[in-house]
Amino acid sequence: MSSSHEPHRFDIDTVRADFPLLQRRREAGSPIVYLDSGATSQRPDAVLRAEHDFLIAHNAAVKRGSHELAQEATDAYEGARERIARFVGVDDARGVVFTKNATEALNVVALSLSDGDPAVPDQLRLREGDEILVTEMEHHANLVPWQQAARRSGARLRWISLGEDYQLDLSALDALLTERTKVVAFTHQSNVLGTINPVPQIVDAARAVGALTVLDASQSVPHGPVDLAALDVDFAAFSGHKMLGPTGIGVLWGRPELLSVMPPVLTGGSMIETVTMEGSTWAEPPARFEAGTPPISQAVGLAAACDYLDALGMDAVRDHELELARQMIDGLRQIDRVQILGPVDPAIPRGGAVSFLIDGLHTHDVGQVLDTLGIAVRVGHHCAWPLHRRYGVNGSTRASIGVHTTSADIDALVDGVRRTIDFFEARA
């Protein structure tokens, strides 16, 4: 978490004022302490206005009309695609496919690779005897689709285990990767542990056996600089609602040369080249994977979120969140009965999602008491049951930091945890 460079900073009070919901006060007059950005971030005025302005001035179907509004809407939609591509370091916007969310994006890849069409190149077709490698820390969105892909295709699902240090045990990576490995799918940053995985090491190992790489970047793209071209992955997925953008939109990025030979998953209007009563042919990507009316205003809003984050500076976003994560970890570690579920060593790369356990208390009880204090956190297994089982627990309490989180928010959480313990001890 520590950094050798001088931290990049932005004015947190100015940032905070950009978020209308965070101006809300509870009945007691106190502010909301929002520490659930890992689930859904709040939206700044600039994002709300961008979507609103599009809807009142340019709303129309894209790519389907020759009238003025349709052209304006199409220009805004495709302009958003180009803007979002630049945000993640991609020059060719043809690789940016808009989906409903990151879950759908990851399903698109898994479904397409397990389609079974014999005309698809072998590299992009899972078959019986092939292997899919995932990790024990995956969100269900990057695990269940691959379980289903293995079931459909006859491939075998394997996984990289977690170590006691809350990092992937990569000592077995070379043994897990074989000539049969077709796909390596893994998260960039754990939504539970906060652990940041060494993407170059995993990608290089996958490349050595000719495997495709699929990166779940949902917890990394919103929280620091991410350059997909430099990371050299084949596919990546992230969601708008976790990066200050609208709900209902996600992004699948894929190498255009791969997308152009992959079969579509959803079919219908807008994704076809020709249609006869006997059959159809497919449009080039990204249209091939965007059947039906797409999330137009949401794309515009997501592009505005990219503008907002870039104006802050993603280095500054990363440094701000890491500083607060260290404050949270240090504060929680001083409380008896609290265990951090994730790396606490500053030498281990991590993000701003901090999960913890309170000995003897159920996570839902913890969340309920914190909620009465105006502190919003996530409780449960966070769509990562295998990870929690690995460490012998049913769930955890997660506090996740965003660009609008303040030092006072962290102090409120630490104090709230102390008060939660005191509350239950008084009732014992």
Give the residue numbers marked as catalytic.
383
Residue with tokens 């014992």: 428
Q: Is the dihedral of CA 246, 248, 251, 257 positive or negative?
A: negative
Q: How many CB atoms lie within 10 A of CB 117?
A: 10
Structure tokens at 330: 């240090």
On whether the CB atoms of residues 259 and 112 are closer than 8 A, the answer is no
| Residue 320, number of CB atoms within 10 A of its CB | 26
Q: Regarding beta strands 181-187 and 131-135, do their DSSP bridges make them parallel or antiparallel, or are they unpaired?
A: parallel
The alpha-carbon radius of gyration of the chain (Å, integer) is: 22
Burial of 292 (C-beta count, 10 Å sphere; 0-12/13-18/19+): exposed
Amino acid at 184: V
Cα(420)–Cα(258) distance, rounded to whole angstroms?
52
Q: What are the backbone dihedrals phi and psi of residue 70, each rounded to the nearest 5 degrees, phi first?
A: -65, -40
Between 68-87 and 45-57, two packed helices, what is the crossing angle to 10 degrees?
Answer: 160
Question: In whole angstroms, what is the distance from residue 157 CA to residue 252 CA?
Answer: 22
What is the spatial distance between Cα 156 and Cα 150, in angstroms, rounded to a whole number?
A: 6
In angstroms, the CA 285 to CA 81 distance is 12
Four-CA torsion 80, 82, 83, 87, nearest 10 degrees: 130
Tokens of 291: 């059947």
Nearest CA among 111, 124, 53, 38 for reference residue 380: 38
Contact (CB, 8 A) for 420 and 370: yes
Return all residues near 375 (Cβ < 8 A) that are at least 6 apart: 33, 35, 412, 413, 416
Structure tokens at 43: 């939206």
- Determine the 3-state secondary structure of 236 from DSSP: strand
